[in-house]
Structure 1
Amino acid sequence: MRLLLFSGVFLAFVAPTVQQCVDSDGACSSWVASDRGACQRKEYIKKNCRKSCGNCPIYEAKFDTRRLNPQLQPIRQLVGRWKGEHTGKVTFPTIPTFKYSEEVEISIPDGANIRSLNYTAAAWSSDKEDLHRESGYITIKPNTREVILTTVMSNGFITVEEGPMFGNNIKFILKDIGRISFVRDEHLHNLVREWTLDQGYLRARLSIQTLSHRMQEHTSILYTKTSV
């Protein structure tokens, strides 16, 4: 029997500091105005005149935490696009151990009154085979540090997970699960998903328990933040 419940792995995030896009030399605007090609030819100007050269990164509105509902501020560092290229590992007694890649996107929905983040995850094998997808929402119980994650998975599972946030760590514990009637995976009995934020990286670990196997690690991965 096959179990692939990717996201929920031990996630350790390290959110990089986003630098302001400015010119660090006061002469940049005049240099670039007189010689636009200097932005490509001269390394000093390319590095220190980003604003005048038009080399500023494009910030996507869905990752702009200034738009975040105040209730969600404690989890603002989760917002972004995270990718682990060949850094994931799947293991369980009923399947062979193998490596995988995955991209996770946690974004801000349109509408100032929406008190949740959008969540999607897609995993693929070393030969680019689509392995697993899931989507859902992340929110916080009002006036607490209790974080809630709901997911719908491509393998037929639906989960409700809740857990406390301590510092940069969130530990979700399965509260409820649904499944389509013809799902073929082993009967999932319990699930623990850990996320830890840590300066630009996201580490994730998912542990599961089935009716025939004790609680044990199923997936783990290290992501790098790819959005700005």
Structure 2
Amino acid sequence: MTFGEELVILEAPMAKSSNVQFLNFSARAWSHSTKDHFHDEWGFVTVDPNGNATLMTTGNNGFTTYEVGVVRPNKLVLTLKDIGRISFSRDLPVEDLRRTFIKHDDTYMEQILEMRTATHPKQGYLEHTRVIYTKQKM
């Protein structure tokens, strides 16, 4: 399936109470062929001085996630630490998730989202999406 996705990551104001710098994170996905809206996702990213990263998101698909990982040169791999979902979500229950961001160069970044749901696979991950982003000039 081919779809469009816009990813916006912007510096957020410093949280003075905790002296932690967060980045605002938002993603919007739609069908390329019909332009139908798929989902939105909003959240925050933070990285500590040791390179430990946290991504917290909530989406209009009924999921809230807490992911953790480590920043490496040109790569960030996050794994699911906790997930919440509304009771009437139509999606299969996600049991595990791995999100990988790869910076290819100053223009292109890739995100690979892999998951395990209640029905597949029993172990490991199944690739859910792979998106190549082109940086827009501001």
Per the normalisation by structure 2, the TM-score is 0.88
Q: Aligned-pair distance for 1:110?
A: 3.5
Deviation at 1:218, TM superposition (A): 0.5
Root-mean-square deviation (CA, aligned residues, Å) is: 1.4
Q: Deviations over 1:120-145 (max 9, x none)?
A: 0001102211111100000013x311
- Residues 86-138 of structure 1 show CA distances to partners (whole Å, capped at 9, x for unaligned) of xxxxxxxxxxxx10001000001235745100000001102211111100000
Larger radius of gyration: 1
Higher strand fraction (1 or 2) = 2
Mapping of 1:187-206 within 5 angstroms? 187-199=93-105, 200-206=107-113
Say if 1:148 and 1:112 are closer, same or farther in 2 by CA, change over 3 A.
closer
Q: In structure 1, what is the Cα distance between the partners aligned to 2:70 and 2:111? A: 16
2:10: which partner in 1? 107
Q: Give the match for residue 44 of structure 2.
A: 137
Q: Which has the higher helix share?
A: 1
Say which of 112, 128, 135 aligns to 1:218.
128
Q: Distance in 2 between matches of 1:125 and 1:175?
A: 29
User: 2:36, 2:137 → 1: CA distance?
Assistant: 24
> What does the per-residue CA deviation read over 1:152-172, in whole Å, with 9 as the maximum and x for residues that have no partner?
011100000001111110000
Q: CA deviation at 1:186?
A: 0.7
CA contact (8 A) 2:13 2:21 kept: no
Q: How does 1:168-183 map to 2 (within 5 A)?
A: 168-183=74-89
- 1:184 corresponding residue in structure 2: 90
Percent pairwise identity:
36
| Mapping 1:142-157, distance limit 5 Å | 143-157=49-63
Q: Matched residue of 1:121: which SS?
A: strand
Number of equivalences: 130
Correspondence 1:123 to 2:26: no
When normalised by structure 1's length, the TM-score is: 0.55
**Structure 1 unmatched runs, 5+:** 1-97
